[in-house]
Amino acid sequence: MRAYSDKFVANVCQESYYQFFLTFWPLIAAEKLIRNWHIKKLCDELQDIAERVFLDKPKEYDCIINCPPGTSKSSIVSILWQAWIWTRMPSARFISGSYSERLALDHSRKSRDVVISDKYRALFPFIKLREDQNTKGYFTNSAGGMRFATGVGGSVTGMHAHFITIDDPLDPIGALSDPVINEANIWITETLSDRKVDKQLTPTVLIMQRLHQDDPSGNWLDRGGRIKHICLPAEDSWEVKPEEWRSFYVNGLLDAQRPGMNKASLEEAAKRGEAYYAGQYGQSPIPRGGALFKVDRIQISAVPPDKWKRGPVRFWDKAATQGGRGSFTSGTKMAIDFDDKLWILDVVRFRLDSGAREKMILEIAEKDGRNVRIGIEQEPGSGGKESAERAARNYTLAGFRATIDPVRGSKEARASSSKTTGTGDIPARADSFSVHVNTGNLILLKGAWNRDFIEEMRFFPVSKYNDQVDSSSGAFAMLVRPKLMIGALR
């Protein structure tokens, strides 16, 4: 009788990942499972993805899943899914990554604990782990299946997977660090993309909360391609994908029965900051009320005034980068009209090495004319001071009215901190500049640069780049306060 019962349960679990999930949940959690519609939806989605691999059919898409913490996302994607796949495809090979190796190993260990459990072995006796390759970070079975766990940036040399899962590739605390974000994006798009049994067959599933415009979710979506985006915010006042899943929300909530997801808990979470709540619970890198700049209040005009009350000035935020991945050098030309309206007349940005950069700055200065005062950002330290003074006095801008602007704090800290995020103070000059933007006092001269400029402002301070905001804030500061003049010609 018991054998018959085990065979029946095994068949049900093999046919439905959701039923497998329900059956094996007690092995990975001490708490009773709080069922909610999103669990079945995600299980069914993952089963659809896996079924094509079982049939050796090309994948239809890779999958991005954005959902709040505390929704059993890791249990669904990173722990039980792999154990279920082996019941249908014992030879399946997995690469599983997280922001830290420790977290990836923890997911892998829990998955292995399921596979070696008495219940799993009773239902699926044909799955046997090899004793010579059986660690929590790398284990294999007798049919050739394997699971390899690693942290972001870790080596995956020699590994090729039928399935790749990436669970929280960014630590929420470190999400605003550009180097950390860049490392995660490069590792996912360049390293992992080559670690597939077949690029047409192997699906990648990324699950995380939204933390930044250019976090791995945003970066991947920007790159395009065949991607299914599932977005499940805690409240339906945010964007829900697929849109038809919005109908499953109860009283506007994703899962009102789950601790941490009811109305009172969400209100408490919102007190930690608008940007924190937007990313972790709204699955949006932009707070509900917008980021620092209210870009819908920016005006665009094709006809500038003939005369200016102050300016024009051109301020340069410099980056010594050559190639396609680093920061831009950006120069903003700005003036104030006699109605005290702030005008941005031009924004140029480029990636060049230091020599080509200085030549480009000179060419633009000559085009602007000698009546346009020039500001140069001075990075902290003696090297930054010497570089700024050399450009202003000796080399690039000799003969032009050039000033230097000593900034405080690192570029990353100035660009990524904000009063709206609860993570620090916005740079004083960006904060002052935002007042004019948010009161409808900024006018852009119509040009091809408008779109990229507005998009950067829309996401600031969690935008992919901050150079245009930095150069605009610097130009604004030049117009409203005096600067030290270096080698100016009167």
pLDDT tens digits for range 279-299: 899 998 776 655 678 888 999
Question: Can you give the pLDDT at residue 353?
Answer: 84
DSSP states along 387-398:
HHHIIIIISTTT
140-146 contacts at long range (C-beta below 8 A, 24 or more positions apart): 141/86, 141/90, 141/115, 143/90, 143/91, 144/90, 144/91, 144/93, 145/86, 145/89, 145/90, 145/91, 145/92, 145/93, 146/93, 146/94
The pLDDT of residue 390 is above 60: no
Report the DSSP pairing between strands 310-317 and 204-208: unpaired
pLDDT tens digits for range 51-94: 999 999 999 999 999 999 999 999 999 999 999 999 999 999 99
CB-CB contact of 259 with 267 (8 Å): no
320-326 contacts at long range (C-beta below 8 A, 24 or more positions apart): 320/353, 320/354, 320/357, 321/351, 321/352, 321/353, 322/351, 322/352, 322/353, 322/356, 323/351, 324/351, 325/182, 325/186, 326/351
Question: Average pLDDT over the chain, rounded to whole?
Answer: 85
Percent of the chain beyond pLDDT 90?
58
CA dist 327 and 322 (Å) reads 9
109 Cβ neighbours under 8 A, 6+ residues apart? 136
34 Cβ neighbours under 8 A, 6+ residues apart? 255, 257, 258, 259
DSSP states along 230-286:
EE--SBTTS--BSGGGGGG-BTTBS-TTSTT-SHHHHHHHHTT-HHHHHHHTS--SS
Q: Rounded to whole angstroms, what are the CA distances from 103 to 43, 100, 133? A: 22, 5, 20
Average pLDDT over every residue of 387-398:
51
297 Cβ neighbours under 8 A, 6+ residues apart? 437, 438, 439, 440, 442
Which domains does the chain carry?
2-280 (3.40.50), 295-486 (3.30.420.280)
Report the DSSP pairing between strands 310-317 and 329-336: antiparallel
More confident residue, 453 or 424: 453
The pLDDT of residue 36 is above 60: yes
| Banded model confidence at residue 12, pLDDT cuts 50, 70, 90 | very high
